[in-house]
Structure 1
Amino acid sequence: MIIQAANIKSANTNTYDAIVIGSGITGGWAAKELTEKGLQTLVLEAGQSIVPEKDYVEHVPPWEVKFRGMRDRQYEKVHRERQKHIGDEWNAKFFVDDVENPYTTPPDQPYLFLRGRHVGGRSVMWGRQSYRWSDYDFEGNLKDGIAIDWPIRYKDIEPWYGYVEDWIGVSGQAENLPQLPDSHFLPPMELNCAEEHMRDVIAQKFPDRRLTIGRTAILTKDHNGRYACHYCGPCARGCITRSYFSSIHSTLPAAEKTGKLTMRPFSVVHSLIFDSNTRRITGVRVIDGQTKQPIEFYAKVVFLCASTLESARILLNSATPEFSTGLANSSGQVGRNLMDHMMGSGASGLIPGHEDRQQLGNRPNGIFVPRFRNINDKHPDFLRGYGFQGGGARDDWGRGSETPGFGADFKKSLKQPGPWRFTFAGFAECLSNPDNRLELDKEKVDAWGIPAMKISAKWRDNEWALFKDANNTAVEMLEAAGAKDITLRNSPSAPGEGIHEMGSARMGRDPKTSVLNSWNQAHDVKNLFITDGSFMVSSGWQNPSLTYMAMTARACDYAVKQMKLGEI
């Protein structure tokens, strides 16, 4: 697809103060902050609109859907083998296919890119775990001699964490841990009896470790015009009560309320328009998602929030004579340093006792064991660390698939809850490596004629060492709690499967080694800001979305101040 000179006719009607590319977690925050600060803002979303009253079907039972919840076979024809466990008949529509949206990988480096092209993006499907970073994370690269140093520290982002938390609502328990700063919390969800037992055992036998309830962007009391969670369970299908945070439920309505928001779905961004005389972006080239026709939009400032991989693809596809390897890529770092969290480690086991107790409701949250490796002592085998998520629950009727039995009495027995089981699921940090990267595929294009991605990424020695240690520590905690029939979770995730991809346009102090400065502003193009996971310099060990949101709000504040000073 070739798009030539600016559409002069559209310049009169398609000009805004700001353009935000993407409407997910960071795009929604950019829209809210920019409109509330007075900017006429256009949000470009590649996919369709989502209408919760129509598209959220969380309370539709299996017998009322066509395939009884098992998905249409057609779904499995358009998704990669490893992706087939993602999505079900209720929510498969939220995940894009690999036919219209192809990407390629080397045969020996499988990558799983899970995308949601619709208004709200992956904020509709995310896991909602929300954790602050600490200076163990922001100083880690410098102390370990890995990649480059973060240009910020915890003190720079601390007020913005609070600003975001006060808006979205994060339930959790304060623990006063240096590696996991406490948030502004709503009341925590409760641990069940098996989890309380495990918490007490860990506190007694492993003083370097702490088990707490997860910190989650789900309301435990009415907050900011949204209702408290009522523990119905199927969050992955949407939430009609708006109890969990998403841009559809929260930031985009706030932006719309200002009267300064223009939302344009079905707008597939092709590239950014660069003026070599001013060295500024003047606009965005778009392919209409339905008509396939090109159109251009113009603005004084652009926030690129399309997601780590998509944002890098847009920059690479925006090459100019000045930036032959991609716009804002004088450092050569655009597309490099991809990171994710390595999942699949840990263990589970049966917890004897508590047979007289049953958990009520479907708590949309689990336990959390913060990183405890390389905090006070240096481990000889690896850098950084990992955290555990998971929790305790009683086995349900599904245990019948692995239990001997037959007939009416057997089926009747499955109506009763089984024994308590506890699971530790590890999330290990991934170190930055420039060879984990994406490029443009010169031979394959997507349904809109835009070059597809070629993604090369693999786990390396440090990740594997963390994986092994996480298995060992999970087993020792289960054994200490008296667990029986312990089994390892020994199937590592593919890179990308953690859905925490980050790092493709990292920030830093030196334009020679980084794409963005400490304000998420491109070193090479002053009116370009990137606030999705692209800016991350390291991956940390905890879920990153809260950091994305805080950094987006911070960058918007800076950008508007720079515009008022005439610097942008």
Structure 2
Amino acid sequence: MNENTVYDAIVVGTGISGGWAAKELCENGLKTLVLDRGPMVKHVEDYKTMHDDPWDYKFKGELTLEEKKKYPVQSRLGWAPRDDVKHFFVNDLEHPYQETKRFDWIRGYHVGGRSLTWGRQSYRWSDIDFEANKKEGIGVDWPVRYKDIAPWYDKVESYIGVSGEKLGLKQLPDGQFQPPMELNCAEKELQASMKNDFDDGRLLTIGRVAHITENTSDIEGRGPCQYRNRCWRGCPFGGYFSSNSSTLPAAERTGNMTIRANSIVHEVIYDASTKRATGVKVIDAVTHEKFEFKGKIVFLCASAMASVGILLQSKSKSFPNGMGNNHDQLGRNLMDHHYKVGATAKIDGHLDKYYKGRRPNGFYIPRFVNLDDTTQRNSFLRGFGYQGGASRGNWKEMVAEMGYGKSLKESILKPGGWEIGMSGFGEMLPHPDNRVTLSTDKKDSWDLPQLNFDAEFKSNELNMREAIKEEAVAIFKAAGFKEITTFDESTGPGLGIHEMGGARMGANPKTSVVNRNNQLHDVPNVYVTDGAFMTSASCVNPSLTYMAFTARAANHASKQFHQHKFS
């Protein structure tokens, strides 16, 4: 690599958004440098645990107590990191941050980022989401509407492969779907109950998930899901969408991509005379060498909080408080989704039935509250949906005291009864005092300021959590399920791994950071297309929306480039 090369574009980050930015820019003919702060992960070749079985691990995948000390934050998830996937989660001791208030920052530093470990749930926004801020006087209005993003949802879904069922719901627009995965018998029982026992429009469907479910020649280099449910280790079949299996190879095929791993971008360089960014400053994660790479366009896709951190560190005479931060909007209005709140139950019957394979997906109950006068709730604004699943087997029946010798062996071979559970994913409102700043006294191993989080759930979120539990119980009771138990685990923003905000989109430069095309208001050749640009959160998983906006922004940038707007 040559620091004197002037690239047409620089993309920072290789996850959900970065992969799409790289693909669209390269396919539009731009010579593009792609940077990631972590090591290279090559599709298939570097999925080192992709074929492992439980018995390949000494402690059935659990980390030793000594290993767990490396992951005090990542372990707040409860289900990760484990021995088979710890290499896709950061070592918290090596990558610390500050918490004025608790913020669970779950990260993966490597090429592909969290596109290798994401939940793959893929849902469109509707105008109910895009218009909510304006109608309720919350935050600022989105400068776009569903019609602006719908064609890009079409493009993204067709390319990544999303399986799902069309429903015709105003709050959850249908998309370009591959055949849906199948609900099991217990889930179908709940589906039928909800249809018969409620008159407010609530329903259950299979999750809309970024997995190929049919043999197709339209999606290059990937095959259908094999129902192994080992997705977070990296899929050698390319059954689910990741940057590594899909968008980065597409960018590479153009011959226009140069990719550099172990490259920590910490500043966007600004030229006050042209009012344009001219490149980025980089520290090599391994050698600590410092570089400057030049580019005519910069895409920040490092993940929401990391991109905000880069902008906060990009200080100059023109931007003494960080690039695009002359109105003190950068780092504010952090959001996430609710997580780890819901209910479980046991289901009688169906003991003559089981299921085949390990379906890497669950059911979904779309939002059914605060949609109109008949579904109005007075204790909170916005809404929530549920993700869940039913299965057979109960580990509690396998405790040593329950059986010995022959009886224990026989019980292990017999599936237990049916159990079901679901967790609510609810919307968090934007508040300006929920924010992230640069630490004034703590630095990391590369002498860069750590991020300091000061964010919390407010009364609207706390009231919504209560409703999530209450409605879950009502749904299970109506179905006749037994031993219904609610759960509401200690949590704060971040644990849903849907962190958003910090550089929100808006029409007014005084109250927002980027415009309707994801450009910084004050530096139009810098685009922010990861979760940082989100103006509100909706209640659905956000990655599909990041991809749609990124594809849209990259095509806008390409047109601007070819019209010599950034020369």
With normalisation by structure 1, the TM-score equals: 0.96
- Aligned partner of 2:18 in structure 1 is 27
Q: How does 1:208-357 map onto structure 2 within 5 Å?
A: 208-223=201-216, 224-225=219-220, 226-357=222-353
CA displacement at 1:442 relative to structure 2: 1.6
- Partners of 2:499 and 2:433 in 1: how far apart? 15
Which of 457, 478, 481 is matched with 1:480 structurally? 478
Query: Which of 178, 181, 196 is the matching residue for 1:189?
Result: 181
Aligned to 1:437: 435
User: Which residue number corresponds to residue 4 of structure 1?
Assistant: none
Any idea what SS the aligned residue of 1:115 has? Answer: coil
Q: 2:487 aligns with which of 465, 469, 489?
A: 489
2:378 aligned residue: 380
Worse overlay, 416-425 or 548-557 = 416-425
What corresponds to 2:91 in structure 1? 97
Structure 1 counterpart of 2:138, one-letter code? I
Q: Is the 8 A contact 2:154 2:176 kept in 1?
A: yes
Q: CA deviation at 1:64?
A: 2.5
Q: Which amino acid aligns with 2:386?
A: F
SS at match of 1:270: strand
Secondary structure of 1:251's aligned partner? helix
- Residue of structure 2 in register with 1:519 after alignment: 517
Tell me the alpha carbon deviations over residues 60-86 of structure 1, each in whole angstroms, 9 at most, x when there is no partner: 123323554122444311222562532
Number of aligned residue pairs: 557
Q: Could you tell me how far 1:443 is from its partner in structure 2?
A: 1.2
3-state SS in 1 of match to 2:84 = coil
Could you report, residue by residue, the CA deviation over 1:263-303 in whole angstroms, capped at 9, with x for unpaired residues? 10000112111111111110100001111010010010000
* Of 438, 446, 449, the match for 1:448: 446
Q: Secondary structure at the match of 2:314?
A: coil
SS of corresponding position for 1:273: strand
Partner residue, 1:39: 30
Gaps of 5+ in 1: 1-8
Matched-pair contact (CA < 8 Å) for 1:72–1:89: no
Asked if residue 127 in structure 1 is aligned to residue 119 in structure 2, the reply is yes
Alignment of 1:545-564 (within 5 A): 545-564=543-562
Match of 2:151 in 1: 159
**Residues 494-544 of structure 1, C-alpha deviations (whole Å, 9 max, x = no match):** 210100000110000000000000000110101000000001000100000
Shift of 1:373: 0.5
Of residues 390-399 and 416-425 in structure 1, the stretch that sits farther from structure 2 once superposed is 390-399
Q: Which amino acid aligns with 1:441?
A: S
Q: Where does the alignment leave 5 or more consecutive residues of structure 2 unmatched?
A: none
Give the Cα–Cα distance (whole angstroms) in 2 for the partners of residues 443 and 395 of structure 1.
51
- Determine the structure 2 residue equivalent to 1:3: none
Q: Please report how far the alpha carbon of residue 411 of structure 1 lies from its aligned counterpart in structure 2 after TM superposition.
A: 4.2
Distance 1:415 1:492 in 2: 35
Deviations 1:336-374 (A, max 9, x none): 110000112211101111000001110000000000100
Deviations 1:458-485 (A, max 9, x none): 1111111111011011001111111111
Give the letter for the 1:125 counterpart.
T
1:222 shift after superposition: 2.7
Residue 406 of structure 1 and its aligned partner are, at CA, apart by 4.7
**Which TM-score applies when normalising by structure 2?**
0.96
The one-letter code of the counterpart of 1:234 is R
Is residue 509–residue 518 contact of structure 1 (8 Å, CA) maintained in 2?
A: yes
**Aligned counterparts of 1:455 and 1:237: Cα–Cα separation in 2:** 29
1:115 aligns to 2:113 (yes or no): no
Q: In the aligned structure 2, how far is the partner of 1:56 from the partner of 1:142?
A: 48
Alignment match, 1:428: 426
Q: Is the 8 A contact 2:130 2:142 kept in 1?
A: yes
Q: Does 1:206 find its partner at 2:202?
A: no
Conserved in 2, the CA contact under 8 Å of 1:272 and 1:281?
yes
- Contact residue 264 and residue 282 of structure 2 kept, 8 A: yes
- Looking at structure 1, the residues matched to 73 and 246 of structure 2 have their Cα atoms a distance apart, in angstroms, of 34
| Aligned partners of 1:503 and 1:537 also within 8 Å | yes
